Structure 1
C-alpha cells in the first residue's frame, strides 16, 4: 500500500506544468482552429445571409467563405510559428499579420475576377482582430514558460525574459512545483550522479530537459560562436528547397516594387545631388553569396572627399551628409539594392554584406566568419532588427551570432518576422547610423 502511495506522490511531484485541461484547451491548436473558425468565418456569414446559408452556395458565397477560412488558418499558423522566435511580441504582430492575410485573399479574388461579398470579408477581418487579441490576453498568463535550473556549470549566464521564468533548484527534486522543463549544463563536470538521476526521472515523466546553450539561443536569438564546433555542420545547412522558393519570391516582389518606388528613388537621387557634390549612387564591391564578390548599389549618404576608417563610426560620423542622415534613418539609401535582388546577388532578408576589406579582416580574426556566406546577403536581416546598425568592428562578434541564428533557423516564418520588424524599424529609425 505504502509503495503505491509513494509512486503516486512521485508522479505528482514530477508533473508538467501545462498538463491542466483548461490550459491545453485555451492554447491548443484544435480549439483555436475549430472555435475560431466558427467565430471568424461563421458569424459574419450568418449575419449577412442568416440561418440556412449553407443550404445554398452560389459562387459569391463559397468564394467568400473559403477566402475567410484560408485567411484565418494562415493567420493562426503564422502567429504560432513566429511566436517561437525570441523578440517576437505576438501582440505587436497580430494586426499586421491579419491585415496582410486579408489583403492577400482579396488580391487573389480581385485579380482572378471571382465574385465575393465585401461586407462578409470586412466583418470577418474585424472578428479576426477581436478573436486573436482576446486569445492573446486570455492566454498570456499561461504562455510564460517556467523552467527549473540545475545550479551547476554555465547556467548563471541565463537571464529571465518576459516569456521565460527561471527558478533555481536547490536539490534534485521539483518539490511538487509544476515546471515546463528543466535547464542544465549537460557538458559540465560539476553535474553529480544525483543530478543526472534527477534529469533522467524528469525525462521519464515527460518533463523536457534542455541544455543551457539551447535555452540561451532561444532567449537571445544568437548562436554563440565559440560553441559552433559542437554542432554538426549538416544541421546548420539551410534548406535548398526554401532557398529556391525564396529566390522566386524575391524576384517577383522586386519586379513589383521597382515601378512603385521609382518616384521615391528619383526624388531621393535629386535631393542627394542638390545637397552635396558627387554622384547619387554609391557603388562598392562586397562579399556575397558563397563568397563571390559583387557590386552593391546604394544611394550616396556621405561626402565624396572625406576619408574614413572603412566603417561607419556612429550617428555623429562627420562624413555623413544632411540628406544622408535622413535617408539612412529611414533606410531609403538601400532602395537601389532592388537591382541586386533582381540580379540574384542579394535577397530582401539575409545577413548584411560586408565590404571586401572588412570581410578579409574578419575572416582572419573571427572564427567561422565565412560561414555566413552560405545564404544570400540581404537588404535587411535578423542582426539589423535585433541589434541595430552598430559599428561593425565593435559589434561584429554579436552581429555574427545573430547571423548564425538566422542561418540555423532559416525559414519562411523567421523571414516574415524580420519583415514586420523591418517595417517597425523604418517607422522608428531604430539603429540608424
Structure 2
C-alpha cells in the first residue's frame, strides 16, 4: 500500500534533512574557521561550543520544517511553494538562533563571541542545500512514478464533469503517480471508457470492493443530480478506513477560484476570490496609480504637447475626445483619448469598432492608434480615480449590454477599476479580437492580482502593449 511507502519516505526524508542540516552547519564552521586561510586572532570560541549547538540546531530545524509543511506528500505540491517554505523555515531558524544566543549571553558572557557571520553562512548553505536536496528527491520520485513504481491507486465514485477533469489532470501529470483503477456510477453503463478509465459497475458495488484493501484513495466525483447519495457514500468509505476526498461537480456553477471561510463553524464557499476586495490591497494599488499617473503625465508632457499641435494642425475638431465607458461597479464615466478620427455625429460614432483601413481615422490618428499614444490622456482618468494603470479595458455601454447576455462571466470584469493596460492586451487581445478570450485573461488577472503582477504587466506593456497589429 502507498501509505506504507509514504511513511517510510517521510522517515527517510527526516533523516536526510537532519544530515543536511548538520553538514551545512559543519561546513559553515569549517569555511569560517577551519581552513588554513582563517584569521586565528578573531577570538574564536572553542570548537566544542560550536559543535554542542548541533544538539539544538538539528531537532529545531526538523520541527521548523514540519511546521512549514515540508513533510507533506510531494505529488501535487508546487516546487515554488516548497522553496518558499524552505526559505521561511531557515529565516525563522536563524532568528530563533540569534534570540537564543542573546538570552544565553546573560548566563555565559563567553557566548558573545559566537560568530554571527558563521550563522549567516550556515543559513545560506542550509537553504541552498535544502532546496537542491528536495529538487533531487522530487526528481527521483517523478522518475519512479513514470516507470510505474510508488503509484497511488484510486477509485472514482460517480461519473461527472469533475471525474473527467480529474482524470485529465492525472493523465497530464504522470509524475504525480496516480493510477485510476476505474469508476463506479449508476447512470453510465458498465464498460464505458473515458481516456482509458473504465466504468466498473454501479455504486452499489462499493461495499464489495472496499474490503479487498487494494485501494489507496477514494475520490467522490458524483454528478450534481446524485448528491442525495453523498452522505451515504462518504460514511461507507470512512468505515473502510480508506482515505476519501470529495471533488465537487460545480464548475458550471462556480467556474472561478472559490475560497472557504468559517462562519461560526459553518463552512461557507465564496464563489470567487478577488484580492482587490481587501482594503489594504485596494489602497496600495490606488497609491501606485496616483504616483504612476502623476509621473507619467510629467514624463510625457512634451509628447502630449506635440501630439496636441499635430491634431489641431491636421484636422478640424477638438484635441481630446471623450467617450462614455463602463467602469468599476458598473459606474459610467467619461474616458479621454486623443482624437484620432474626423468629427462624426453621434449615430455614426456608435456604428461599431474601428476596423482595418477605417476611412474615419485621420492620418495622424493611424500613427497614434498604432503606437497607443492616443490612450495617454487616460492618465487623467487614472489620477481622478475612474481608471487604474492596470486592469481590464472598459467598454461602451451598448457593448456591455450586448456582451453580458452573450458571454458568461463577462460582468466580473467590473469588480475592479478598468485599466490603461491589462493582461489581455499584452497577450494580444485588443482591438478586433476575441472577446471571450479577452474575458478569460481579464478574469485570470482579477483572481490572481498582486502588486508584482501589476508591475510585470506594466513592464511587458513596454514591449508588447504599445505597438500592436490589432490596433487600427
Other-structure match for 1:74: none
Native 8 Å contact 2:328 2:418 kept in 1 = yes
Closer, same or farther in 2 for the Cα pair 1:152/1:234, shift >3 Å?
A: closer
RMSD value, Cα: 5.8
**CA drift at 1:12:** 5.7
Supply the distance in 2 between the matched residues of 1:280 and 1:355 (Cα, whole angstroms).
20
2:3 matched to which residue of 1?
A: 11
Which residues in structure 2 correspond to 1:207-356 (within 5 Å)?
223=256, 232=270, 235-236=273-274, 238-305=277-344, 307=348, 310-356=351-397
> Larger Rg: 1 or 2?
2
Offset, 1:11: 1.9
Q: Does 1:425 align with 2:464?
A: yes
Q: How many residues align?
A: 312
Q: Where does 1:74-93 land on structure 2 (aligned, <5 Å)?
A: none
TM-aligned CA deviation for residue 297 of structure 1: 0.7
Q: Deviation of residue 331 (structure 1)? A: 2.1
Partner of 1:378: 419
Q: Do 1:238 and 1:410's aligned partners in 2 also have CA atoms closer than 8 Å?
A: no
Indicate the residue corresponding to 1:171 in structure 2. 182
Q: Aligned with 1:406: secondary structure?
A: helix
Gaps of 5+ in 1: 1-8, 36-49, 56-89, 91-130, 225-229
Q: Give the C-alpha shift of residue 312 in structure 1.
A: 1.9
- Distance in 1 (alpha carbons) for counterparts of 2:300 and 2:461: 17
1:153 maps to which of 160, 164, 175: 160
Separation of aligned partners in 1, 2:290 and 2:8: 47
> How far apart, in 2, do the equivalents of 1:18 and 1:213 lie?
34
**Deviations 1:73-117, CA, capped at 9 Å, x for gaps:** xxxxxxxxxxxxxxxxx9xxxxxxxxxxxxxxxxxxxxxxxxxxx
1:262 offset after TM fit, Å?
Answer: 1.1
- 8 Å CA contact retained: 1:239, 1:410: no
Secondary structure in structure 2 of the residue aligned to 1:298: strand
TM superposition shift of 1:329: 3.2
Instruction: Measure, in 1, the Cα distance between the counterparts of 2:312 and 2:404.
Output: 36
In the TM superposition, 1:178-217 aligns within 5 A as: 187=224, 189=226
Native 8 Å contact 1:329 1:426 kept in 2: no
Moved more, 239-248 or 273-282: 273-282
Distance 1:334 1:184, change over 3 A: farther
Instruction: Return the offset for 1:352.
Output: 1.4
| SS in structure 2 of the partner of residue 171 of structure 1 | strand
The unaligned stretches of length 5 or more in structure 2 are 25-36, 43-79, 81-127, 147-151, 184-209, 258-267
Change (3 A) 1:261 1:360: same
State the 1:429 CA deviation: 2.4
Instruction: Give CA deviations for 1:386-430 in whole Å, capped at 9, x if unaligned.
Output: 4611537x625x433433333333332432333233233236626
Which structure carries more relative contact order (alpha carbon 8 Å, separation 6+)?
1
Matched, 1:357 2:398: yes
Q: How many angstroms apart in 1 are the aligned matches of 2:339 and 2:9?
A: 55
Cα shift at 1:234 = 7.4
Aligned counterparts of 1:352 and 1:276: Cα–Cα separation in 2: 28
Q: Any conservation in 2 of the 1:254–1:342 contact (CA below 8 Å)?
A: yes
Q: How many Å separate the matches in 1 of 2:8 and 2:431?
A: 42
Contact conserved, 2:222 with 2:249, CA < 8 A, in 1?
yes
**Residue 16 and residue 311 in structure 1: after superposition, are their counterparts in 2 closer, same or farther (change >3 A)?**
farther
**Rounded Cα–Cα distance in structure 2 between residues aligned with 1:199 and 1:277:** 77
Q: TM-score, normalised by structure 2?
A: 0.48
Superposed CA deviations along residues 353-409 of structure 1, whole A, max 9, x for unmatched, are 1112323444555566544333211111233234611537x625x433433333333
Residue pair 1:382, 1:403 contacting (<8 A) in 2 also:
yes
CA distance in 1, matches of 2:165, 2:3: 31
CA gap of 1:20–1:321, structure 2 versus 1, over 3 A, is farther
- Counterpart residue number, 2:435: 395
Q: Deviations 1:186-222 (Å, cap 9, x if unpaired)?
A: 75759x99x9899989x987x99766878xx9xxxx8
**Hey, what's the Cα distance between the residues in 1 that align with 2:12 and 2:304?**
56
CA distance in 2, matches of 1:302, 1:294: 21
CA distance in structure 2 between the partners assigned to 1:407 and 1:423 by the alignment: 21
Distance 2:327 2:8 in 1: 47
